[in-house]
Amino acid sequence: MRKMSMHGGRSLFFLLFLFILWELLIRLTETPKWLLPAPSDVLKEAAIGFGDFYGHLLSTISLSILGLVIGCSVGLLISIILHRLPKVNEVLYPLLILSQNIPTIVLAPLLIIWFGFGLLPKLIIISLVCFFPVVVASMDGFRQTAPELRHYMKMIGATNKQLFWKLELPHALPSIFSGLKIAATYSVMGAVISEWLGAKKGIGVYMTLAQSSFRIDRVFVAIGFIMLLSVGLFGVIRLAEKIMVKGRSEEKK
Amino acid sequence: MSLTITELDIAFGQLPVLEKMNLQVNNDEFVAILGPSGSGKSTLLQLIGGLLTPDNGMIQLNGESINGKKGLISYMPQHPSLFPWRTVLENVVLAAEIKGKPEYEEAKRLLEKAGLAEFENSYPNELSGGMKQRVAFIRALLSKQSLLCLDEPFSALDEFTRIKMQNWLLSIWEENRKSILFITHSIEEAMFLADRIYVLSKRPAHVKAEITVPFSRPRNERLLETNEFFHLKKQIFQHMKEDIADDD
């Protein structure tokens, strides 16, 4: 844990260093603000414009979290179904991989045409982005159940249901969490893209407006908050992992 | 609880693994099965556990056929196979939990007897190899079935820990009698622990010799140094010698 925070501290210092470098370069070359703003300009805009930005931020946060929850639940459910029914797995797994090859940017307008500008198409986009890492990671986790534990459970007469709930699921928990962590970082991106293509509120909307009026400083404010939001969701899932995954320190070392 | 195995045959494809296997474990008896590696000892356990069905022959528990029936024995595997996300207490009740209700009071009592009371809430990765095996044994003891099958439980331990564990196993067993089928490849371990020993041939395995161990109980490690122990060991070794010679 201490090692972790020291690690985080170091990369924070490096980030600070990059910001200072950026600030200096902008000032030395006298780059105009509409082309590339200095970090200080971005911070200033973030502070002044936060009142306007606040509403957009809240909307994106709730959209990301809702999409993440739906996407992860669907992902977990699909992985359990595919794991328990190998025949279905054979048919569906290749289709799942194909589903990830459809570019979101192409799919999003289609979904808007079909489902309108409401919440549904946005949630579909976020879920589609989020569920895949969860499915892949969970299925790997289920498959990698220690064979000697599986053999033990069978010898003492465990049913298939018990085998899953008492062994496979808890055993796969660390894998499931790595899937969830990836999904968490994707979810914000999915939310922003979906807003981008049609919404009244949200960071995506704010960004499009900022871009079309050459307010590059505002674009950077949006980027900054997207990052913070991703890191925040990632952190929440890490915390849940810390609480729920127990007795595995030996394996992690 | 008694186990009777009659004329048991099983083959994996073209490869016969067990041939006309006959053996018997009486009520509260400690029986060891001694055989070379790859002689089909684990296959025998999987047959008794119901994971495999025999091609011919009969496995009976108290006179009732249990061919292919699961969940009627308690089992301790070669590796402790503890679940890393469960505490020691949660681990020892697992076998009972599968069959019905876990009994935490009884579990705590046995853990205390085994000197593991303070580790009740520890996770398996905090335990030593010997401690893990003790937990695994208590887990088997706590399941309701009264035939206990042990599959080379101490083979991965060092010599010092092994003798300590054998002593400990005997002392616990004296107090909580169950029929035990103990699989091992160590002559000394079989002689030290068991009432009777079945010596298996190499594959396809059948019972080569049945030896009654005459030593009185309770036993302790001093038995290992006596002449009688040494003579019996020599006698058992005679039975195994042919298989060793054949291998060259």
Chain B neighbors of A152, CB-CB under 8 A: 75, 77, 81
* DSSP label of A6: H
Note the pLDDT of residue A17.
93
Q: Is residue B84 within 8 angstroms of chain A, CB to CB?
A: yes
Q: Where are the domain boundaries for CATH 3.40.50.300 in chain B? A: 3-73+148-222
Tokens of B221: 């490690």
Q: For residue B87, give the chain A residue with the closest CA.
A: A247
Residue A253 has pLDDT above 50, yes or no: no
Chain A neighbors of B83, CB-CB under 8 A: 149, 166-167, 170-171
DSSP string, B89-138: HHHHTHHHHHHS---HHHHHHHHHHTT-GGGTT--GGGS-HHHHHHHHHH
Q: What is the pLDDT of residues B11-55, one digit of tens each?
A: 888 888 888 888 888 888 899 998 887 778 888 888 888 888 888
Q: Out of 2.60.120.260, 3.40.50.11390, 1.10.3720.10, 2.160.10.10, select the CATH number for domain A41-252.
A: 1.10.3720.10
Tokens of B15: 């490869």
Closest-CA distance, B130 to chain A, in angstroms, reads 17
B49/A154 Cβ within 8 A:
yes
Which of A153, A156, A246 shows the shortest C-beta gap to B123? A246
For residue B73, the SS3 value is: coil
Q: What is the pLDDT of residues A115-154, one digit of tens each?
A: 888 889 999 999 988 999 999 999 999 999 999 999 999 9
Q: Are strands B207-212 and B196-200 parallel, antiparallel or unpaired?
A: antiparallel
- The predicted complex's ipTM stands at 0.86
User: In A103-121, which positions are buried (b, 16+ CB within 10 angstroms) versus exposed (e)?
Assistant: ebeebbeebbeeeeeeeeb
Average pLDDT of B205-217? 83
Closest-CA distance, A241 to chain B, in angstroms, reads 13
Q: Pick from B60, B48, B61, B183: which is nearest to A155 by CA?
A: B48
Q: Is residue B79 within 8 angstroms of chain A, CB to CB?
A: yes
For residue A101, the SS3 value is: coil
**Residue A3 confidence class, pLDDT cut points 50, 70, 90:** low
Average pLDDT of A47-74? 92
Which of A148, A156, A251 shows the shortest C-beta gap to B95? A156
Average pLDDT over chain B reads 85
A249/B46 Cβ within 8 A:
no
Q: For residue B69, give the chain A residue with the closest CA.
A: A157
Note the pLDDT of residue B106.
86
**Residue B59: its H or E element:** strand B56-61
Q: What is the pLDDT of residues B79-108, one digit of tens each?
A: 889 999 999 999 999 988 888 888 888 889
Note the pLDDT of residue A67.
94
Secondary-structure class of domain B3-73+148-222 per CATH? alpha beta
Q: For residue A161, give the chain B residue with the closest CA.
A: B98
Chain B neighbors of A177, CB-CB under 8 A: none
Note the pLDDT of residue B245.
61
Q: Is residue A243 within 8 angstroms of chain B, CB to CB?
A: no
Q: What is the pLDDT of residues A82-125, one digit of tens each?
A: 999 989 988 988 888 888 888 888 888 888 889 888 889 999 99
Note the pLDDT of residue B244.
67
